[in-house]
Structure formats: C-alpha cells, structure tokens
Amino acid sequence: MASDKITSPSLNGSLNGKRILLGISGGIAAYKIPLLVRLLKKSGADVQVVLTPSAKEFVTPTVLEVLSHRKVLCEIFPKNDAKGDWTAHIHLGEWADALVVAPATANTLAKFANGFSDDMLSVLFLALRPDKPRLIFPSMDGEMFDAPAVRRNLERLRTDGCIIIEPDYGALASGLVGKGRLPEPETIFTHIGQALAEPLWLKGKCVVVTAGATRERIDPVRFISNFSTGKMGFALAEAAAAWGAETILITGKTHLPTPPAVKRFDVESAEEMFQACKLYFERCDVFIAAAAVADYRPECAAVQKLKKDSDSFTLTLVKNPDILLEFGKQKRPHQVAIGFALETDRAIEHAQEKLVRKNLDWIALNCANEPGSGFEVETNRLTLFSRTGEVHELPLMSKRDAARAMLKLTLSCLDSRSKKN
C-alpha cells in the first residue's frame, strides 16, 4: 500500500486519538473519501465510516474497511449480524468526537434538517452528543445546490449549530460547470483539523501517568486488589499524547486499549510499578499518579496454592512503597507532581493533607460514594486543589473531558517553570 507516500497537509495541532464518525452519502464525489480516510488515519485519528445505502453505489465498503481498520456501518438493523447490536448508534454517539459528512447529498441534508432517522447515518446525526461538532460538506449539481429547499435545509442546519462547508465552483460530474464540487480530500482534512485539532501544548515535555489497580499476590492464584479500571489514567495519557507530550503510561492489569502514541508498561504489583516509575523520575516534566496502588501487600506470597485447612486464616501485610510520595520528595523545581485522592469521608480535609504531605503541585479529589464518580464508571467529578491555594470544581463529565480540563488547569504553570531551576 502506498501509505508512506501520502503527505498530509500540515495541521496547527493534532488529530491524534480523535474519534471521527465519517458519513458518506450517495453522490459521485464519494470516490474521494477513501483518500480522506487515509489522511485521517495517518494523522492518528480513529475513523468509523458510515455509508448511506445509496453511497454503496459509488464506493465499496471493502475499500473503506481496509483503510479505516473498522467495519463500515450502513443499516440500522444489520441483516447478517446474528447477534445484532441494536444500540450501536447510541454507543457511537457517545464515542465520537465529531461527525463529518462528505459528500452530503440533498436527500441527506433534508433528513438531517428535519430529524428523519431511517438509516444509520441519519440516526447517528441525532445520537451524537449535542456539544460535538458536525461538519457537513454538501456536494451536488449546481442547480440542485441552488434549489430553495436545499438552501432552506442548509440554513436550518447552520442555525442548529452545524458547520457547513460550501462546495467549490468548477466542473461537475454532469458535465456542467457550477457550484457543487466536493473539495479535495486535503482541503476536507484541513477543515476537520481546524475544527478538531488539539493544541500541542505539551510538545517537548515528558509526562508519566500511572493508572489502574495493582495486584498483590497472596499465592499463585489469589491476590489483593481494588475496583480501579484505569479509565481516568488512560484518559489522562491519551490527552497528554494528543497535546504532543512524550507520554509514558505505567499501568496495572486492565483490558483498556493503549491510547495512540502512548508508550505503555504493564505491571502487576505496587513494587513493580514503583520500579518502572523510577526509570522516568529523572527525566519527566510531569508525574501524574492516577493509579489505585495497594497500600499493603502480603509479607510473603506463598509459592503453592494455600489450602483451606483451618477455620480462620491470618495474613500479615507489609506496607508498599508510596510512589507519589517518593516522587514528591525527589522532584526538582521544574517538575510537576499531580496526585489523586479518592475519598469516602472528610474528603477535602484528606485531599489537602495529601497535597502537602506528598509535596504535590495539584491534587484531584473524587468521591468514591458519589454517583457517576470514582471507580468503574465513564464519568468523574473532580475538584482540583493546588499548593498555591487554587480550588477548581469541575462539573460531572466524561473521564476523557475531565482529563483535558484537568490538564489544562494543572499544567498552565509548566511554561513558566525553567529547567534551570
């Protein structure tokens, strides 16, 4: 495949890790979209292609599946899927950072403008979270584009908050010349970049994130652990990498996929996590401890499986190293240390005590007993405390959004710190 020969137009930012729903409706210009998929994939975006039934007449699902590395969606009720995922549109609506529709035909515009939802693309247009950008590239013959109904629908979509990119003027498939040409893939890519690319605020910085739960072995088949899934730490690593940082993610056992452009180390116990972190203490600019590290481990792990011979059983535990505390002790003035406090009671008091004791720059408080916060959920509500007395209460939001909001606040100090200090 000629993948390396494709040169992406330069973007003022990064699409790394951006999740894009790419809708294709049935216009001849659909032939340009496989190249757009290549450009988006090359820039690190995750692309889910959605075809309208008539788009299949112009471009094959196969070529798009090969290029996007994802199954192309078309019908709301897929006929060949025995299991049938009838809620796929809702998950994708939550998943995506943006919807891009190119080419958008008059028919698809009419559906979007009037709330119709009789194919996967029009359903997704409605299911996408309202705060996410919808970029629409209309393309059709010049007369059609000028038709009052099309103009009306475009106007309504603009009012609804969609970003409409006007088609180019030039030769049309009909042989006529007029306004209606779909812009070239490079131009569409640049528009997507303008709407979506994230600033490279952390370029040149090294960010280390710990995530997930550690496991402390009791014997070969049992361990002590906790309910952490690693989602918050993975979201932080994803955001740091998207903002251009060299990002190291040191994680306990989890099934989460590695975020794009992140260097990941899997560890089991607190001691292993500590050893992995120590390798990066020196050179990192930011250390974010989002892992739920076990405070204690069994004094010695049994070599053979323990038998249930007696009615009671006593396990002697010894203290694990506190990784963040160690980093806090060693850190130099240009380095930033950020910790988490997951609390159930006297939350603010405990968070502020940890901020001082561990010599942190920031601590993010979340409450385990608050609905939508803490372990095993997609959302979090964080309150951030800084060593200089700043307090920021973030609303309940997805962990991905919370990670970006948290990094923006906590790392605003980075540039003012000099490595010479």
170: left (phi over 0), alpha (psi -120 to 50) or beta: left
- Catalytic residue status for 153: no
Angle at CA of residue 129, ends 373 and 96, nearest 5°: 90
Closest separation between CB of residue 370 and ligand C5P, Å?
Answer: 16
Smaller CB separation from ligand C5P, 48 or 210: 210
**In the complex, minimum distance from the CB of residue 255 to ligand C5P, in angstroms, rounded to a whole number:** 20
Task: Compare residues 97 and 322 and give the one whose CB is closer to ligand C5P.
Answer: 322
Positions touching ligand C5P (CB under 6 A) are: 210, 270, 289-291, 293, 320-324, 339-341, 354
Confirm if 398 and 372 have CB atoms less than 8 A apart.
no
DSSP reduced 3-state for 168 = strand
User: Smaller CB distance to ligand C5P: residue 14 or 320?
Assistant: 320
Q: How far is the CB of 340 from ligand C5P (least distance, A)?
A: 4
Instruction: For 289-320, give the DSSP string.
Output: E--B--SEEESS--SSPPP--SS-----EEEP
Among residues 235, 256, 252, the alpha carbon closest in space to that of 320 is found at 252
Nearer to ligand C5P, 162 or 250 (CB): 250
Cα torsion angle, 52, 56, 58, 61, sign = positive
Which amino acid type is present at position 160? D
Considering the candidates 153, 226, 380, 421, report the single residue annotated as catalytic: 226
Could you tell me where the DSSP H helices lie in 243-382?
270-281, 323-330, 347-357
Task: Work out how close the CB of 258 gets to ligand C5P at its nearest, in angstroms, rounded to a whole number.
Answer: 19
Q: Which lies closer to ligand C5P via its Cβ, residue 20 or residue 289?
A: 289
Of 178, 132, 164, which Cα lies nearest the Cα of 19? Answer: 132
Task: Answer yes or no: are the C-beta atoms of 48 and 68 closer than 8 Å.
Answer: yes
- Mapped to the 3 state alphabet, what secondary structure does 170-189 carry? EECCCCCEEEEECCCHHHHH
Closest contact distance (angstroms) between CB of 254 and ligand C5P is 14
Compute the least distance from the CB of residue 288 to ligand C5P, in Å.
8
Instruction: Please return the burial class of 242, using the count of CB atoms within 10 Å of its CB with bins 0-12, 13-18 and 19+.
Output: buried
Distance in Å, CB of 296 to ligand C5P, minimum = 9
CA dihedral (382, 20, 209, 227) in degrees, to 10, reads 60
H or E segment at 196?
helix 185-196
Between 13 and 321, name the residue whose CB sits nearer to ligand C5P: 321
Please give the positions annotated as active site: 226
